[in-house]
Structure 1
Amino acid sequence: MMILRYSAASPYARKIRVAAELLGLAQRIEIVAASTADPNDSLRRQNPLGKIPTLVLEDGSALYDSRVIAEYLDHLGGGRLIPADPSRRFEVLRLQALGDGVNDAALLIRYETATRRPELRDQDAIDLQQGKIDRALATLEAAPPSGPVDLGQIAVACALGYLDLRFEGAWRARYPKLVGWLDTFEKMVPAFAATKA
C-alpha cells in the first residue's frame, strides 16, 4: 500500500486526495499525518525537503511535490485527469499551475500574518502576494473552468477551499461566477467536500 504524508489543511494534499478518489486509487493509499516542524518525523527521511504532500510508494521510495504525485496517480489511474492530447493537456496543466500559484501566494501571506509578530510583518510582501491572488481570481472569474473534471479544476477548487479556510472566504464577494463554479464542482465531486479541513 502507498502512504500519503499530509496535513488536513494543505491544499496540495487535498488536491492529491481528491485526485486519488476520482481515479479509483484511494483504497490503495494510506493517509498518514505529518508534522513538517518536527525534526523527528519520518517525513524528513522520506522527503529531504520535509514538505507535504509526499507519496511513499510500496517499494519505499517517495514522490514529491503534488504535481509529480498527481502525474503519477493519473498514470496509475489510466490518464483520466491529465489528457494526453497536447491541446487539452497543456490547458489542464496551466490551470493546475494557476491554482497552485494561488496556494503558493496564500501560504506566504498566511506565514507572514500567522507566524511573525505584528511589528515584524512586511505589508509590501503581503500586498505582492495578494496581487497574485487577485489577478488569478479575476482571470478565473472572466472564464471559469469548464468541461469534464480534470486536474486543473481540482487544483483551482482546492485553492478556493484554502482561501475559505484561512481567509474566511473573503474572495467570494468579488467573484460570483467563481463561487457558482465552485458550488457546482462540489456537487459533482463528493471527494472535495469529504476532504475539507
Structure 2
Amino acid sequence: MSEKLQLHWSPKSPYVRKVMICAHELNVVPRLELVRSVAAMLKPNPSIMEYNPLSKIPTLVRPDGSTLFDSVVICEYLNDLAGGSLFPSEGEARWQSLRWHAFGDGLLDALILWRNEREREQPLKPLIDAFELKARTSLKLLDSEAEALTSAPLSIGSITVGCALGYFDYRFDNFGWREQAPRLAKWHTKLSERPSYQATEPLEG
C-alpha cells in the first residue's frame, strides 16, 4: 500500500478545487497522489465506486485503504494532519467559517444544477429562473458580508465562497457577477492572488 494519500481528482470540479486549495495552504500537496477520475452524473465510474459507492469526487484513499469523502471531510482531515488553522476550533469564528462553508457549498450545488438544466435539450424555464434568483440573491448577501470576509483569517469558509465565485467565472462568464457584487469582487480579486488559487484554476481537457 502506498504511503501517499490517493485523491480521486479532476481539474474541473470546484469541490476538488476546495480540497486542493486547502492542500496547498497546508503544504501537504507532496503527500497526495492525484488520480484523474471522471464522475459523470449519468455514468457511475467503477474505479471511483471501488472506494466511494456514490461515484463522486473528491474521494481520498488513505494508506491503510480506508476512505474519506466528501470535500469538507477531506479538508478537515488534511487540516488535522498538518496541524492547520483552516477550521477555527471555537467561538464565533468557528460558526462564521462553517456558515460561509455551507453557504458556498449550497451556492455551488445550485450553480451545478443550473448548468445541468441549461444544457438540456428543453430546459425548464421556471427552474432556470429559480436558480438565477438564488444566485443573484446569494451574491447580494455575500456582497454585504465582503468586509467581514476581508477581515477574517483564511478558513474553510472563505475558501469555499472563493471556489463558488471561481465557478461563476468558469461556467457563467456572461452572468456578470462582479457588477452585481462589487465589494465581493474586490475581496475575490485579492483572494485570487494567493498561490493556492492560482495553482488550482480549473482546466479543460
* TM-score normalised per structure 1: 0.93
Secondary structure of the structure 2 residue equivalent to 1:16: helix
2:180 pairs with 1:174: yes
Shift of 1:190: 0.9
Alignment of 1:45-194 (within 5 A): 45-114=50-119, 116-117=120-121, 119=122, 121-144=123-146, 145-146=149-150, 147-168=152-173, 170=175, 171-187=177-193, 189-194=194-199
Secondary structure of the structure 2 residue equivalent to 1:30: strand
Shift of 1:79: 3.6
Q: Whole-Å Cα distance in 2 between the matches of residues 52 and 39 of structure 1?
A: 11
Q: Whole-Å Cα distance in 1 between the matches of residues 36 and 102 of structure 2?
A: 25
Secondary structure of the structure 2 residue equivalent to 1:42: helix
- Aligned AA (2:124): D
Q: 1:137-180: per-residue Cα shift (whole Å, max 9, x none)?
A: 11110111132111111101111001100011521221111111
- Aligned AA (2:178): R
- Contact kept, 8 Å, 1:34 with 1:41, in 2: the verdict is no
| Corresponding residue of 1:30 | 33
Shift of 1:10: 0.8
Secondary structure of the structure 1 residue equivalent to 2:21: helix
* TM-score normalised per structure 2: 0.89
Gaps of 5+ in 2: none
Cα distance, 1:153–1:40 mapped onto 2, change above 3 Å? closer
Q: Whole-Å Cα distance in 2 between the matches of residues 96 and 70 of structure 1?
A: 11
Q: Whole-Å Cα distance in 2 between the matches of residues 111 and 4 of structure 1?
A: 25
Q: Whole-Å Cα distance in 2 between the matches of residues 19 and 39 of structure 1?
A: 27
Q: Whole-Å Cα distance in 1 between the matches of residues 36 and 25 of structure 2?
A: 21
- Aligned AA (2:186): G
- Contact kept, 8 Å, 1:35 with 1:41, in 2: the verdict is no
Identity %: 41
